[in-house]
C-alpha cells in the first residue's frame, strides 16, 4: 500500500494525521507543500483542494482529518492487498 500525506507543517490537522499513521506503524511519504510548488501542484491535481491535509492511498485522494474514516479506509486497503503465498 502506497500512502502519501500532503501537509503544511503549521497545520495541526496535518500533524494529527501524521502522528496517527506513525503511532499505528503505517509507513507513509510526507510531502510538505509550503515550500514545494511541485508537491502543492500534485496535491491540487489529485484532490482539487488547496487545504491540507490530503491523504493519498494507492492513488486515491482523501481530504481533511477524520480519524474513523481514515481507519476504515486503511483497513479496507489492507484487506484488498494480495497476500503472499
pLDDT of residue 31: 97
Nearest to 29 by CA among 68, 55, 62: 55
Nearest CA to 42 out of 7, 81, 15 is that of: 7
User: What domains, with CATH codes, occur in the chain?
Assistant: 3-80 (3.40.30.10)
Q: Which three cell numbers stand for residue 82?
A: 494480495
pLDDT level of residue 27 (50, 70, 90 thresholds):
very high
Q: What is the pTM of this model?
A: 0.89
Residue that has been written with the C-alpha cell 510548488 in this structure: 37
Q: Which of 78, 77, 52 is closest to 63 using CA atoms?
A: 52
The full DSSP string for 39-69 is HHHHHHHHHS-SSS-EEEETTEEEES--HHH
Over residues 29-84, the pLDDT tens digits come to 999 999 999 999 999 999 999 999 999 999 999 999 999 999 999 999 888 887 65
Would you state the pLDDT for residue 84? 56
Cell digits of residue 55? 491523504
Task: Report pLDDT for 85.
Answer: 60
Amino acid at each position: 500500500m502506497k500512502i502519501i500525506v500532503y501537509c503544511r507543517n503549521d497545520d495541526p490537522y496535518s500533524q494529527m494525521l501524521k502522528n496517527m499513521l506513525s503511532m499505528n506503524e503505517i509507513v507513509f511519504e510526507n510531502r510538505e507543500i509550503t515550500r514545494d510548488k511541485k508537491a502543492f501542484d500534485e496535491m491540487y491535481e489529485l484532490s482539487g483542494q488547496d487545504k491540507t491535509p490530503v491523504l493519498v492511498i494507492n492513488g486515491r485522494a482523501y481530504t481533511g482529518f477524520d480519524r474513523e474514516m481514515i481507519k476504515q479506509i486503511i483497513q479496507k486497503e489492507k484487506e484488498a492487498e494480495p497476500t503472499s503465498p
